[in-house]
Structure 1
Amino acid sequence: MRRIRLLSLVIVLVSLGLLPFPRHVLFPGWAGLNYVSDGVWMEATAGDSERFVEELTWAEAQVADWWGEVPDRPRILVCGSLKCDSALNGPGPYAQAYGRHLLIVHARLGLEDPELRRAILAHELSHIIVASRVSIPAYLRGDMPAWLNEGLAVLASDDPRFNLTPGLCDMLVEEPLPEGMRDWGHLAGEGNRPIYQAAACRARAWLENNDLADI
């Protein structure tokens, strides 16, 4: 019986290793990524690994200061090519957090200026912290609406792209925002509405009567 279980496990792992996404996640070295730091794997074409680790360290400190806790570092896969991006469901956003254990950074982020690169990493690490506090059933129940998750991430990262002045927030107060992550993803992909700014404004208002410890 033990041999059968072991053989079954080997078959499952081999099968997963043949599929692009799980192969990169489970066996990044086999997929052409190099181990560069604790939890971090990068394609050689993704740029300077020391620079990336420095920016990641900055983002971790930024998020720790804002949330009041040091985020556990997930497995981080950094692409530098379209082939890698395609294998990891890109190249859509600059980066994508999957729960609390995986962060994928797509090649296009490496082309941006350092301030934005750091902010994007901090944004995704904020999602990592939320995922460590909010269970999947709680997400499904709507206990953590998408707009609050995204709005807090914008605030935590101090993203330089978004104007969050009181005047603009007043203009966006009636902006409809999705509750579910799937709906948020669809709307964010359209890129024709200021949903991130509106979410950050609403999250800031939420913090006037709530505390991050409540999450």
Structure 2
Amino acid sequence: MHSERKRSRKKLWMRVLATLTALLVAAVAGVCLAYPSVAATTCPGCYGLTEFDGHEGVYAQDNLSAAQRSQIEQVVEQSRETIATFYGAQTSSPSLLICLTESCYERIGGGKERGIAVLNRAVMLSPRGMDAVIASHEMSHVELHTRLASGAEVPQWFDEGLAVVVSDDPRYLRPEPAADRCLISPSGPLPVTLEEWLSTASKDAGTYGKAACQVSRWLREKGGSTGLLSLIDRLNAGAPFATLVESP
């Protein structure tokens, strides 16, 4: 009798374990299907990417030519140097997932963009984003949010405008040492949330330029990166962004 009860309990626990395992597998599969970019940054190897020799945290496709490998090395080194130079040091260490074919980028969840920061911990670059400007733009997002404490926030226009300034993107700013680097000035409020930004930027190609203009002018008044680091400290101390930076 005792042995029968023991076997019954064992069978019950085996069923429970099998059910939990099935649920876990289904949940993981659901994430992979719904959010492939999140899954890819968690397990690059699961999506055909391998760690790039000599660069920890950098993942790319196999069978690259010598020219392609050289291009990746230059982009990684230049973008990291850009971030470290502007911020004084690079405190973040995002994984970099680099695709040199569109099929690869689609497989890891990429879309029409040149590059994208994922969960403020990784950066994905498409074949169209394989240059230091795009890479440092996305890495600036990760660096900023790494430095911001939990609860400290900046509006999306500031985040995007700062990334343009840090990456020194010539599409949206005049080159240094222009007194005013703006190519287009904001004429009204800029998007505050990510959802608002994506909606506005998709309709108005000048949105990045307007945000970059506002941020570049603010940085010029506040002493450049010194002013930014001071802003981050005050935000981390609990000061609201609206009391520190005038919105357009």
Q: 2-side partners of 1:179 and 1:71: how far apart? A: 25
- Counterpart code for 2:49: L
Q: 1-side partners of 2:150 and 2:25: how far apart? A: 25
Q: What does 1:125-136 align with in structure 2 at a 5 Å threshold?
A: 125-135=139-149
The equivalent position to 1:44 in structure 2, one of 44, 47, 62, is 62
Query: Where does residue 122 of structure 2 map in the other structure?
Result: 102
* Residue 23 of structure 1, CA deviation: 4.0
What 5-or-longer segments of structure 2 have no aligned partner? 1-12, 233-248
Deviation string 1:13-63 (CA, Å, 9 cap, x unpaired) is: 675257251442222213211211210111237762342122111111111
Task: Tell me if structure 1 keeps the 8 A contact 2:116–2:124.
Answer: yes
- Counterpart code for 1:72: S
Q: 2-side partners of 1:9 and 1:186: how far apart? A: 40
* Residue 133 of structure 1, CA deviation: 2.1
Query: Where does residue 163 of structure 1 map in the other structure?
Result: 173
Task: Tell me if structure 2 keeps the 8 A contact 1:91–1:108.
Answer: no
2:109 equivalent to 1:89: yes
Q: What percent identity do the matched residue pairs reach?
A: 24
- Counterpart code for 2:132: R
Query: Where does residue 209 of structure 2 map in the other structure?
Result: 197
Q: 2-side partners of 1:71 and 1:46: how far apart? A: 30
Q: CA RMSD in A?
A: 3.1
What 5-or-longer segments of structure 1 have no aligned partner? 111-116
- Counterpart code for 1:34: T
How many equivalent pairs are there?
202
2:76 equivalent to 1:56: yes
- Counterpart code for 1:132: T
2:199 equivalent to 1:186: yes
* Residue 97 of structure 1, CA deviation: 0.7
Query: Where does residue 80 of structure 1 map in the other structure?
Result: 100
Q: 1-side partners of 2:183 and 2:139: how far apart? A: 28
Instruction: Note closer, same or farther for the CA distance 1:55–1:130 as it changes in structure 2 (3 Å cut).
Output: same
2:32 equivalent to 1:12: no
TM-score normalised by L of structure 1? 0.78
Q: 1-side partners of 2:142 and 2:190: how far apart? A: 21
Query: Where does residue 239 of structure 2 map in the other structure?
Result: none
Q: 2-side partners of 1:147 and 1:60: how far apart? A: 23
TM-score normalised by L of structure 2? 0.69
The equivalent position to 1:153 in structure 2, one of 152, 163, 169, is 163
Query: Where does residue 45 of structure 2 map in the other structure?
Result: 29
Q: 1-side partners of 2:73 and 2:27: how far apart? A: 32
* Residue 89 of structure 1, CA deviation: 3.3
Query: Where does residue 121 of structure 1 map in the other structure?
Result: 135
